[in-house]
């Protein structure tokens, strides 16, 4: 009975730890403001996906 409890606790702990991760989807790795400066553009809107106005 103790082994089953220990195995279930380890499975739960593993799932808990690995479910807490973030995903970064920035394609080029440069923030929108920096890309704006590099290209000389007046707006960083083109380089900020998800920020549509």
**What 8-state DSSP symbol labels residue 42?**
S
Whether residue 15 lies inside any domain: the answer is yes
17 contacts 9 by C-beta, under 8 angstroms = no
Whether residue 14 lies inside any domain: the answer is yes
Whether residue 12 lies inside any domain: the answer is yes
What is residue 44's predicted lDDT score, i.e. its pLDDT? Answer: 83
- Say whether pTM exceeds 0.85: no
What is residue 8's predicted lDDT score, i.e. its pLDDT? Answer: 95
DSSP-derived 3-state class of residue 21 = coil
**What 8-state DSSP symbol labels residue 45?**
G
d(CA 40, CA 50): 21
- By residue range, what is the domain housing residue 20? 1-47
pLDDT tens digits, 15-47: 888 777 666 565 667 888 888 888 898 888 887
Q: How many domains does the chain have?
A: 1
What is residue 22's predicted lDDT score, i.e. its pLDDT? Answer: 65
Whether residue 10 lies inside any domain: the answer is yes
Whether residue 53 lies inside any domain: the answer is no
């Amino acid at each position: 009975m103790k082994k089953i409890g220990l195995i279930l606790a380890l499975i739960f702990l593993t799932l808990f730890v690995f479910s807490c991760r973030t995903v970064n989807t920035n394609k080029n790795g440069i923030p929108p403001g920096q890309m704006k400066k590099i290209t000389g553009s007046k707006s960083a809107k083109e380089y900020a996906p998800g920020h549509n106005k």
